[in-house]
């Protein structure tokens, strides 16, 4: 009868394992609180072996952050089918799934990263924001956006980040309510711009024309009409 033998990992396989272990630890606690010794123990290897693959905690953090940023950017990818409001709601659900899974790490990342952070980590964060912007723009089917539309989308992405951070501090509001609220915010912010800008008004009309009454945007309009009634 043969006993189990630990398989020796290849270089890239070991690197990916360490990145996964580090990402898990960074997701549960802020990067400053995680030590190389903890990462080594969780990976089942020695501390010197961690340094064999990564020169320090910063490089390992950056590798873990790169994987996380790619994952987060993918959460904004959505088939261009059906009403925009429902598409955005699915995106927000996946976004909050990520926030829920990587709470402390997401919080540390969006609040400026760890004290030992670098410009590379900031570039990764900006890359996620840009990927989200491009995805939202594609759903509006606009290749050359007017300045107010770019401002609107980027402001909404920042609002989603801020909302998620506040939610993580106490989780006092059910996340499904915030997911819907952010979709409503997207329409409301667009309406504010449309009130004083012809280009935004045309875009808003096109969006509303394809929205069902029982969708997120239709629900918002119904609520606003009710509030306006005496």
CA distances in angstroms from 25 to 5, 29, 38, 41, 46, listed in the order given: 27, 6, 9, 11, 17
- Report whether 228 contacts 220 (CB < 8 A): no
In tens, the pLDDT along 154-205 reads 999 999 999 999 999 899 999 999 999 999 999 999 999 999 999 999 999 9
As a whole number of angstroms, the distance between CA 179 and CA 92 comes to 5
Q: Mapping DSSP to helix (H, G, I), strand (E, B) and coil, where does residue 169 land?
A: helix
Give the dihedral of Cα atoms 11, 14, 18, 23; nearest 10 deg: 100
Instruction: Give the pLDDT score at 1.
Output: 41
Instruction: Give the pLDDT score at 2.
Output: 44
pLDDT higher at 124 or 41: 41
In tens, the pLDDT along 22-34 reads 888 888 887 788 8
């Amino acid at each position: 009868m043969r006993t189990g033998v630990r398989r020796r990992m290849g270089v890239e396989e070991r690197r990916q394992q360490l990145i996964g272990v580090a990402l898990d630890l960074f997701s549960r606690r802020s990067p400053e609180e995680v030590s190389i010794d903890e990462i080594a123990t969780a990976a089942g290897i020695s501390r010197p072996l961690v340094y064999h693959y990564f020169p320090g905690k910063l490089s390992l953090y950056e590798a873990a952050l790169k994987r996380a940023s790619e994952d987060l950017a993918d959460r904004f990818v959505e088939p261009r089918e059906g009403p925009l409001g429902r598409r955005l709601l699915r995106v927000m659900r996946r976004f909050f799934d990520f926030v829920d899974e990587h709470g402390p790490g997401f919080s540390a990342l969006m609040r400026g990263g760890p004290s030992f952070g670098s410009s590379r980590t900031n570039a990764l964060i900006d890359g996620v924001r840009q990927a989200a912007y491009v995805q939202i723009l594609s759903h509006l089917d606009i290749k050359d956006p007017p300045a107010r539309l770019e401002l609107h989308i980027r402001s909404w992405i920042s609002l989603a980040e801020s909302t998620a951070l506040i939610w993580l501090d106490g989780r006092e509001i059910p996340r499904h309510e915030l997911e819907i609220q952010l979709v409503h915010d997207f329409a409301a912010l667009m309406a504010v711009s449309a009130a004083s800008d012809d280009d935004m008004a045309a875009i808003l009309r096109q969006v509303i024309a394809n929205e069902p009454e029982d969708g997120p945007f239709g629900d918002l309009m119904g609520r606003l009409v009710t509030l306006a009634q005496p």
